[in-house]
Amino acid sequence: MVPGPGLPGARAQDTNTQVSLEEQKEGIEEYAHICGASVLNDNWALTAAHCFLESDNSEFQTRAGSVDNGKGGTVHDVVKIIAHEDFGEESSFNNDIAVIKVGKPYTSNSYVKFVKLPKPGANIKAGIKVIATGWGITTLRADDNVASEILLDVTLDVIDNEICQKAEFFVRIRAEDPEGADITDNMFCTLTEGKDTGAGDSGGPILARQSGDLIQIGIVSYGEGSGHLDAPGMYTKVSKYRDWISNEISSD
């Protein structure tokens, strides 16, 4: 989470739907935070498909009810991972969404809440402000490129997809891979100078206030994580996947 020049970042508020996705790599004893996720119901959480791209022989768990990275809360072993079947088609990060099932159910209380999702197909207007939360890196300095110890939030500005598509960062990527960074209708972008999501925030929620409620409209997907005006952040549009989410978590 890159909070802005000279800003320490805000300790996240009203974010008890957020959990940490932790990975135990083969041959390593400890679990470590790799991505964010959000609690859908007693048994399922929502995250990004790309969090599992390099996960052969890894074990996963989620940590719920704690704002501290790797400490406190309750731990829930991941027993099933369902990434979208079309993840990576059309664009490298199209359909970047996954649901994960936990063995020990989540308990809804003052520390853990089930996330509220948008209506199916709901549009996201350019110009609105959204909130990103996560334990991602807070600086791009080479000597301090570490995850945050506490859950942080940052407010970002949604931009039009056409503007996002023309941003220098994505133009450079498409020069190497013509379909590498196409912005599809399943995605949306934000751009706010000096503020951004970063490595470790992937899979976490993008929230918008609607009628007093925080609604998860997006999932952190892809970007440079710099807060530079030529490098927007790209997010999965949750409203496009309401039916997919419902089908996957009800069929198991």
Domains of the chain (ranges plus CATH)?
18-114+242-251 (2.40.10.10), 116-239 (2.40.10.10)
Three-class SS of residue 1? Answer: coil
Three-class SS of residue 55? Answer: coil
Q: Which of 33, 66, 76, 96 is catalytic?
A: 96
DSSP 8-state class, residue 226:
S
What are the pLDDT digits (tens) for 58-93?
899 999 999 999 999 999 999 999 999 999 766 678
Does 108 participate in catalysis according to the annotation? no
Q: Which of 151, 1, 140, 145 is nearest to 70 (CA)?
A: 151
Contacts of 53 (CB under 8 A, 6+ apart): none
Can you give the pLDDT at residue 170?
A: 73
Q: Which of 33, 38, 50, 91 is catalytic?
A: 50
For 162-184, letters b (16+ CB in 10 Å) and e give eebbebebbeebeeeeeeebbbb
What DSSP element (H or E) covers 59? strand 59-64
pTM of the model: 0.91
Q: Which of 20, 202, 221, 239 is catalytic?
A: 202
Give CA 125 to chain center in angstroms: 19
Does 58 participate in catalysis according to the annotation? no
Amino acid at 103: G
Contact criterion met (CB below 8 Å) for 116 and 16: no
DSSP 8-state class, residue 137:
B
Contact criterion met (CB below 8 Å) for 11 and 150: yes
What are the pLDDT digits (tens) for 202-239?
999 999 998 888 999 999 998 876 667 778 999 999 99
Confidence tier at 8 by pLDDT (50, 70, 90): very low
Does 202 participate in catalysis according to the annotation? yes
